[in-house]
Amino acid sequence: MLRNWDLLSDELQLALSSAALRQAVNTIAGQAEVLAGEMEAGTLADLGGPDALRLLAVVVRGAGRCDQLTAGTA
């Protein structure tokens, strides 16, 4: 295993960074959806959070696809 990031090619650094970012997006969006469901189920206090969390999930997932988003569709 390489222990120095700088020894990796630029292409491999980009591929690894992109994969890590995709995983982070899926984790954040997934957790937002879980929290929204918990609020709807009454497990967590609902102070208007489920809709906001679902909007966060859409925005996070769409951040890497800005060209595919249309205003007013969140």
- Whole-number average pLDDT of the chain: 79
In the block, which residue shows the tokens 């809709």?
51
* Higher pLDDT, residue 65 or 49: 49
Q: How confident is the model at residue 19 (pLDDT cuts 50, 70, 90)?
A: very high
Q: Domains of the chain: which residue ranges?
A: 22-63
Is residue 34 pLDDT above 70, yes or no? yes
